[in-house]
Structure 1
């Protein structure tokens, strides 16, 4: 049974591709402990894409945020680059670049981005949602 009470975790990560594995394993543990194991495989894929983009395309720190509220799991990655991700209509024509966000758009129930500042650093927050049902 999914948890009734909302919760949120934030994992601050360095600009290092190994952070993708750390984020995936941390997310798996969080979801398992909260009884959301059936969302784990898709959630791990989405988190890996978001965190990978955050550490590959920026030079600063990043963060993974996972939030559960009202039957919806939101996974997001903050990075220090304030530039928006490519619009959904351009994802298919980018070739090698942009495939991760196309995958996020295909697998998530909803996704988006917003400008965000964290600890005095400007950047953006790219997020996606999975419903528990």
Structure 2
């Protein structure tokens, strides 16, 4: 557990990765386990279930892109704080992701960043820094606000 700049507790999990074989499924499983530990799974509502599905799809997209375009991810970092999940995928590739302009939606492939742009609350990429080669692609997914009342059903009498 770490403390954020605003004094709130954040939960951080890291998964070191080597190569591309099984990277996407390992990262999805790692993320699903983290979401379950934080109470996102099982989902209380359909809306929460959709956000969990979005988060897992987005992890697949950014890890898959690292496999296809950067020789594979080196590390997956999950930061959970106040109902928000930040996903960071580090790789050794120097090229930052960019949207393809004028790409037809009817052509296969090349739609991952459009999915990312539509489903993530925010996303981007940055150099690793400290003279390290490569980049970190990050995204954020927020859990829908929970209603102020308890939605659990009463046990049958």
TM-score range, shorter chain: 0.7 to 0.9
Offset of residue 17 of structure 1: 3.9
In the superposition, the TM-score normalised over structure 2's length comes to 0.71
Q: Distance in 1 between matches of 2:119 and 2:28?
A: 16
Q: Distance in 1 between matches of 2:102 and 2:18?
A: 29
96-105 vs 70-79, which moves further: 96-105
Aligned length: 127
Deviations 1:2-24 (A, max 9, x none): xx731011111122141100110
Instruction: Please say which structure displays the higher CA radius of gyration.
Output: 2
- Segments of structure 2 that go 5 or more residues without pairing to the other structure are 1-7, 42-47, 145-157
**Aligned-CA RMSD value:** 2.2
Q: Distance in 1 between matches of 2:102 and 2:82?
A: 33
Contact in 1 for aligned 2:27/2:63 (Cα 8 Å): yes
- Segments of structure 1 that go 5 or more residues without pairing to the other structure are none
Q: Distance in 2 between matches of 1:63 and 1:91?
A: 29
In the superposition, the TM-score normalised over structure 1's length comes to 0.82
- Give the structure with the higher percent helix: 1
Following superposition of structure 1 onto structure 2, how do residues 89-100 of structure 1 map, counting pairs within 5 Å?
Answer: 90=100, 93=103, 96-100=108-112
- Give the structure with the higher percent strand: 1
Alignment pair present for 1:20 and 2:24: yes
SS at match of 2:9: coil
**Aligned counterpart for 2:95 among listed residues 68, 83, 86:** 83
Over 3 Å counting, the alpha-carbon distance change for 1:30 and 1:97 in structure 2 is: same
Contact in 2 for aligned 1:116/1:122 (Cα 8 Å): yes
Q: Distance in 2 between matches of 1:92 and 1:40?
A: 30
SS at match of 2:33: helix
